[in-house]
Chains A and B, each alone.
Chain A
Amino acid sequence: VCTHRVRSCSSIRFIKSKYVCVFDKSALKFSHQQRLFRTSAVSCGQIVQFKLSDIGEGITEVTVKEWYVKEGDSVSQFDSICEVQSDKASVTITSRYDGVIRKLHYSIDDTAFVGKPLVDIEIDTSKGVAPEEDVVETPPMSHEEHTHQEIKGHKTLATPAVRRLAMENNIKLSEVVGTGKDNRILKEDILNYLAKQTGAILPPSPKAEIVPPLRKTETVPAAPKDKVRKIPVPVSRPIAFSGKDKTEPVTGFQKAMVKTMSAALKIPHFGYCDEIDLTQLVQLREELKPLAELRGVKLSFMPFFIKAASLGLLQYPILNASLDENCQNVTYKASHNIGVAMDTEQGLIVPNVKNVQVCSVFDIAVELNRLQSLGSAGQLGTSDLTGGTFTLSNIGTIGGTYTKPVILPPEVAIGALGKIQVLPRFDGKGEVFKAQIMNVSWSADHRVIDGATMARFSNLWKSYLENPASMLLDLK
């Protein structure tokens, strides 16, 4: 039998002919290996019909509701195979064997019968309970200790992955206390056991995929209790990493973002950045915060930034415009619907505050509160998310100083605000003082906006914020 297998698996290199080569789940997905596996499997495996076991309460039939496996999948003992339902009871059917699913006897919503076959599983009879054994370079412990996992007449329950981990670290499964169901030994139990034996060298979280194997000295191969208590030297053995790439289709919201950003790419962006001294604004906000709270509103810096932007747009309306598709016409929008970029679970959404040109700072704060609570509840409406003419992004709440924001079509400009930092600056008298500095990064559409316009708008906006009292002069 072994010779036959060697011949049919000639394309796979054997390190030691005595050991069986590894076919893990991913290998089965490669068609040529799958074919190979089948040829060897047909000669080595045995197809077992796994029958639907008794559900209890005299139930004879159930409805199949969900399959967790498909034909060709490998399963280990205790893996879930399917979910069936009978009269308000949902039952998880688990596999009794390690093997490969060869046939599903029912489709979803079919009626399955107790005592009749549910799936056909191909078991590799030559391997017994643990079909997967790793190719090990220097196994100091004899295999007997691993394959005969019987302690006092009980079979130790452990998945093949856990058994491999134990073997790699020369641990006798009989010495490990299992904390899983039915005293099953889990990966965490092996790691805890190792940690106790060799001190705190192992990574603290038992969930770490990478477990640096610790070298035990050659002189004490089969007596785990007598671990040599010296500083373990990390072995130059390749670290087992079982992470896999995950590919997902781009759907829904992400797809829409792809479209928008690709359109944004067509806009020739130029950037203009500056730093704003918000020392006075910080103080002003401190004074006004409690007043706003009395009215039930949280007052952040954004309402000030938004109102100042609107005042600036009144002087430089080209920044609140839109260029048509053919670049034939520029539409100057009458309303200042200023968008505020929000970070949600889905990603970036930009609701806007409508008609800022006729809103007070307080009105803007109220509206922002409403948009923020709807945004976090995932309940923003279409009108909240459409009609924007200009956007501000307060990325500084997360971090950063200068950024390169991308204009959101059909707009022509966007501003990104960095975080507020306390930095030393010189005042009029040439003395150093503590200033609250924030950076702003503007991007504008160079087809209709020139650098000078952007700079003048930015300076105006900056002057309103650095000297908030000046806003009073121009408020409508």
Chain B
Amino acid sequence: MVLQSLKNCLWLSCILRTPKACFWSTASGGLIIQSVSNDVYQNLAVEDWIHDHMDLEKHQVLFLWRNSPAVVIGRHQNPWQECNLRLLRQKNIKLARRRSGGGTVYHDLGNINLTFFTTRKKYERMENLKLVVKALKALRPQLDVHVTDRYDILLDRQYKISGTAAKLGRTSAYHHCTLLCNADKFVLSSVLKSPYKGLKSNATPSVPASVKNLFEEDPSLTSEMLLDAIAKEYAMQHQIDHHITVINPADETLLPGISNKTKELQTWEWVYGKTPKFSVSTCLNMTYKDSVLDVKVNMDVKHGRIEVCNIDLPEQWLPPGLYSELVKSLTGSKFCPNETTTLVTTLLRVCPQDDELHSRWSLLCENMIMLM
């Protein structure tokens, strides 16, 4: 495997700038690049960048990348439905929304990501997955791996080791997939289990599956070996050199505009705000002094913000003025624990200074925040 620093390669910059005047006329058909970064947002930004700026007529691209722990949801999914956001925040696991469709996946360094860039016309997922399977079999012929018609790769006919998603634009397209080498299955299953009840939405649901790492099947396998095998197979099929060019997603000169793309992927408006409209209909069980209160809560959330909020409290449990103040403030604010916490604590400043009142307020607000 030959790694070449991109700064030394003039031909990549010529593909990007003046596709027609490229003097690198001998190598056609493909380009294999690997990211030096493990930041999910930077890597997703590279995908966006290639999709938007590269001319894929002459050169198809294979992009290899790995991320430090992150949960990646599909374009049209609901993160509250898909994963345990509280656990993510506690464990400092990032949440990203990709631009392609499909379901939710957990990434860590034991998972490799492959993105196949082609023109829209040459978009063909089955071919790509067959390439991956061929590479795996070439590496370890005894591996029982095959592609299903749902574009998953199964190990031993049972365990999912790869999931797929795709994005199509006007002239270009990409198909990306994961491949489980040695990911932390314990963290994977705990973060992908949502504790939030009473959610109703038309967001794309994920289809849960039993997973297994290739490492469990054959402990001699490493991520590097798998990446290399796939690159080799790609190079063979596209009749190009088995070079892997390394790129740095933070390099603005090489990828102009990439930092804006990276920033956009991290904004709240993208990650949470792009959630399709959904409603929350649940019951809070609050223990106050010696009694247990059942408080029905109904909220409609659009663009990640609370559009409608109804809290069914016993009459006079909170002074009516304060209750309406709470509902008024929640309406229009983000469905986000941090925003709600700062909001309710700030409101408390203008309430009468009564310990009883304060403890009721805190109890209700803590329970509301748990829904987010």
Are the CB atoms of A177 and B346 closer together than 8 Å? no
Nearest CB on B from A16, distance (A):
36
Q: Mark B1-13, 1 if CB is under 8 A from A, else 0.
A: 0000000000000
Are the CB atoms of A85 and B75 closer together than 8 Å? yes
Given contacts A65-B76, A88-B103, A90-B100, contact A325 B345 (CB under 8 A): no
Interface residues of A in 74-110 (CB under 8 A from B): 78, 83, 85-92, 94, 108-109
Are the CB atoms of B125 and A57 closer together than 8 Å? yes
Cβ of A171 under 8 Å from chain B: no
Cβ of B142 under 8 Å from chain A: no
Are the CB atoms of A108 and B362 closer together than 8 Å? no
Cβ of A181 under 8 Å from chain B: yes
Are the CB atoms of B339 and A92 closer together than 8 Å? no
Residue among A91, A253, A409 making CB contact with B342, cutoff 8 Å? A253
Most buried by B among A57, A90, A249, A408: A90
Are the CB atoms of B168 and A56 closer together than 8 Å? yes
Which residue of the partner chain B has the closest CB to A179? B17
Q: Mark A150-190, 1 if CB is under 8 A from B, else 0.
A: 00000000000000000000000000010111110000000
Q: Mark B120-155, 1 if CB is under 8 A from A, else 0.
A: 110111000000000000000000000000010000
Q: Which residues of A contact B100 (CB under 8 A)?
A: 88-90
Q: Mark B318-352, 1 if CB is under 8 A from A, else 0.
A: 00000001001110111000110111111111101
Most buried by B among A56, A381, A382, A385: A382
Are the CB atoms of A325 and B339 closer together than 8 Å? no
Interface residues of B in 158-195 (CB under 8 A from A): 164-173
Are the CB atoms of A89 and B170 closer together than 8 Å? no
Which residue of the partner chain B has the closest CB to A346? B342
Are the CB atoms of A256 and B342 closer together than 8 Å? yes
Q: How far apart sit A409 and B346, CA to CA, in the bound complex (Å)?
A: 10
Cβ of A429 under 8 Å from chain B: no
Are the CB atoms of A252 and B341 closer together than 8 Å? no
Q: Mark A235-268, 1 if CB is under 8 A from B, else 0.
A: 0000000000000010111011101100100000
Q: Which residues of B contact A91 (CB under 8 A)?
A: 167-169
Cβ of B157 under 8 Å from chain A: no
Which residue of the partner chain A has the closest CB to B102? A88
Q: Mark A361-390, 1 if CB is under 8 A from B, else 0.
A: 000000000000000011111110110000
Cβ of A55 under 8 Å from chain B: yes
Are the CB atoms of A409 and B350 closer together than 8 Å? yes
Given contacts A181-B52, A252-B343, A260-B349, contact A90 B171 (CB under 8 A): no
Are the CB atoms of B75 and A410 closer together than 8 Å? no
Cβ of B69 under 8 Å from chain A: no
Residue among A90, A252, A382, A410 making CB contact with B362, cutoff 8 Å? A382
Q: Which residues of A contact B330 (CB under 8 A)?
A: 252
Q: How far apart sit A380 and B17, CA to CA, in the bound complex (Å)?
A: 47
Cβ of A322 under 8 Å from chain B: yes
Q: How far apart sit A410 and B347, CA to CA, in the bound complex (Å)?
A: 11
Cβ of B205 under 8 Å from chain A: no
Cβ of A331 under 8 Å from chain B: yes
Cβ of B263 under 8 Å from chain A: no
Q: Which residues of B contact A378 (CB under 8 A)?
A: 338
Interface residues of B in 50-105 (CB under 8 A from A): 52-53, 55, 74-76, 89, 92, 99-103
Nearest CB on B from A248, distance (A):
10
Cβ of B220 under 8 Å from chain A: no
Q: How far apart sit A103 and B120, CA to CA, in the bound complex (Å)?
A: 27
Cβ of A474 under 8 Å from chain B: no
Cβ of B276 under 8 Å from chain A: yes
Are the CB atoms of A182 and B171 closer together than 8 Å? yes
Given contacts A109-B202, A260-B350, A386-B345, contact A90 B332 (CB under 8 A): no
Cβ of A324 under 8 Å from chain B: yes
Given contacts A252-B334, A382-B341, contact A90 B89 (CB under 8 A): no
Which residue of the partner chain A has the closest CB to B369? A382
Q: Which residues of B contact A211 (CB under 8 A)?
A: none
Q: Which residues of A contact B200 (CB under 8 A)?
A: none
Are the CB atoms of B353 and A324 closer together than 8 Å? yes
Are the CB atoms of B76 and A56 closer together than 8 Å? no
Nearest CB on A from B206, distance (A):
11
Cβ of B212 under 8 Å from chain A: no
Are the CB atoms of B276 and A108 closer together than 8 Å? yes
Which residue of the partner chain B has the closest CB to A380? B341
Which residue of the partner chain A has the closest CB to B344? A382
Nearest CB on A from B174, distance (A):
10
Residue among B277, B338, B349 making CB contact with A380, cutoff 8 Å? B338
Q: How many residues of A contact B (CB 8 A)?
A: 52
Interface residues of A in 390-439 (CB under 8 A from B): 408-410
Cβ of B29 under 8 Å from chain A: no
Which residue of the partner chain A has the closest CB to B54? A181
Residue among B121, B305, B333 making CB contact with A253, cutoff 8 Å? B333
Q: Which residues of B contact A85 (CB under 8 A)?
A: 75-76, 101, 204
Q: Which residues of A contact B52 (CB under 8 A)?
A: 181
Q: How far apart sit A65 and B203, CA to CA, in the bound complex (Å)?
A: 9
Q: Which residues of B contact A66 (CB under 8 A)?
A: 76, 274, 276
Residue among B53, B55, B92, B339 making CB contact with A346, cutoff 8 Å? B339
Q: Which residues of A contact B365 (CB under 8 A)?
A: 382
Interface residues of A in 318-336 (CB under 8 A from B): 322, 324-325, 331
Cβ of B18 under 8 Å from chain A: yes
Are the CB atoms of A325 and B352 closer together than 8 Å? yes
Most buried by B among A65, A66, A88, A94: A88
Most buried by B among A253, A322, A377, A385: A253
Which residue of the partner chain A has the closest CB to B164? A88
Q: Which residues of A contact B338 (CB under 8 A)?
A: 346, 378-380
Q: How far apart sit A51 and B339, CA to CA, in the bound complex (Å)?
A: 43
Given contacts A177-B18, A382-B369, contact A253 B99 (CB under 8 A): no
Are the CB atoms of A94 and B169 closer together than 8 Å? yes
Cβ of B358 under 8 Å from chain A: yes
Cβ of A349 under 8 Å from chain B: yes
Q: How far apart sit A91 and B325, CA to CA, in the bound complex (Å)?
A: 42
Q: How far apart sit A255 and B334, CA to CA, in the bound complex (Å)?
A: 12
Are the CB atoms of B168 and A90 closer together than 8 Å? yes
Nearest CB on B from A118, distance (A):
14
Are the CB atoms of B349 and A252 closer together than 8 Å? no
Given contacts A57-B125, A379-B338, contact A322 B353 (CB under 8 A): yes
Q: Which residues of A contact B352 (CB under 8 A)?
A: 324-325
Given contacts A179-B17, A379-B338, A382-B369, contact A94 B343 (CB under 8 A): no
Q: Which residues of B contact A257 (CB under 8 A)?
A: 346
Residue among B121, B165, B166, B329 making CB contact with A255, cutoff 8 Å? B329
Q: Which residues of B contact A183 (CB under 8 A)?
A: 19-20
Are the CB atoms of A90 and B343 closer together than 8 Å? no
Q: How far apart sit A406 and B350, CA to CA, in the bound complex (Å)?
A: 14
Not counting A88-B101, A377-B89, a sample of 17 additional A-B residue pairs whose C-beta atoms are within 8 angstroms of each other reads A65-B276, A66-B274, A88-B103, A88-B165, A90-B166, A94-B170, A109-B276, A177-B18, A181-B171, A182-B171, A252-B334, A252-B339, A253-B346, A255-B332, A260-B350, A386-B345, A386-B358
Q: What are 13 sample pairs from A and B whose C-beta atoms fall under 8 A apart?
A: A85-B76, A85-B204, A90-B101, A92-B168, A179-B17, A181-B55, A181-B171, A252-B330, A253-B342, A256-B347, A260-B349, A322-B353, A349-B342
- Which A residues have a C-beta under 8 Å from some C-beta of B? 55-57, 65-66, 78, 83, 85-92, 94, 108-109, 177, 179-183, 249, 251-253, 255-257, 259-260, 263, 322, 324-325, 331, 346, 349, 377-383, 385-386, 408-410
